[in-house]
């Protein structure tokens, strides 16, 4: 079912655009990190790119509609590539923007307009982005020291994008998905 309110619809479109761009940007930065010898930081970028795809898919689903329609999508993004340390700063900045400004406002509007599906989609993304900002900060700290991150695997919940290192929980703390559903990187 499509959202009923234009403002929430606009926010879903914007979030879809931003998450789609983050997905592609992180894949590009993953390749660069690997070329610089940061194999695990590259895997972290790839895993979080998948989480961003999960968010984009959730937003797209909530936009809904029975027929396709054109839409202009406005979403801010970091463009360009640099050294891994710089790319990580771009990732941190983007994630913090989502956590501190974008998703709280979008979630508030969806709650005010009683758009349950959009509320869920925005909540899922907000909770995951908090983790992403922290993980990128850890990665940047290591990269600044010329070191790679140390972890075995990254696990992503395919329902909400929850992200965790070295072992999936029995149930996702955000959406309740079972451990077996997590995607491992």
CA 53 – CA 76 distance, rounded (Å): 17
If pLDDT is split at 50, 70 and 90, which confidence band does 66 have? low
Looking at residues 39-64, what average pLDDT do you find? 97
- The structure's pTM equals 0.94
What sign does the dihedral 26-160-95-74 (CA atoms) show?
A: positive
pLDDT over threshold 80, residue 18? yes
Question: What's the length of the chain?
Answer: 185
Residue 72's pLDDT is what? 72
Q: Following DSSP, what letter does each residue of 75-95 receive, concatenated?
A: ---------HHHHHHHHHHHH
**Under a CB-based contact definition with an 8 Å cutoff, are residues 133 and 96 in contact?**
yes
Q: What is the pLDDT of residue 137?
A: 98
Burial of 106 (0-12, 13-18, 19+ CB in 10 A): buried
Mean local confidence (pLDDT), 69-91 = 82
């Amino acid at each position: 079912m499509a959202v009923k309110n234009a403002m929430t619809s606009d926010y879903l479109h914007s979030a879809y655009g931003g998450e789609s761009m983050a997905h592609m940007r992180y894949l590009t930065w993953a390749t660069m990190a690997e070329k610089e010898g940061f194999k695990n930081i590259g895997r972290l970028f790839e895993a979080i790119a998948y989480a961003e795809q999960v968010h984009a898919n959730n937003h797209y689903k909530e936009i809904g509609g029975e027929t396709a329609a054109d839409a202009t999508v406005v979403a801010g993004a970091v463009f360009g590539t640099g050294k891994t340390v710089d790319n990580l700063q771009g990732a941190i900045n983007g994630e913090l923007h989502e956590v501190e400004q974008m998703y709280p406002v979008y979630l508030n509007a969806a709650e005010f307009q009683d758009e349950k599906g959009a509320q869920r989609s925005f909540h899922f993304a907000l909770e995951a982005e908090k983790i992403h900002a922290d993980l990128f900060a850890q990665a940047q700290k290591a990269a600044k020291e010329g070191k790679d991150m140390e972890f075995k695997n990254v696990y992503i919940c395919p329902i909400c994008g929850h992200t965790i290192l070295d072992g999936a929980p029995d149930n996702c703390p955000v959406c309740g998905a079972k451990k077996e559903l997590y995607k491992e990187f």
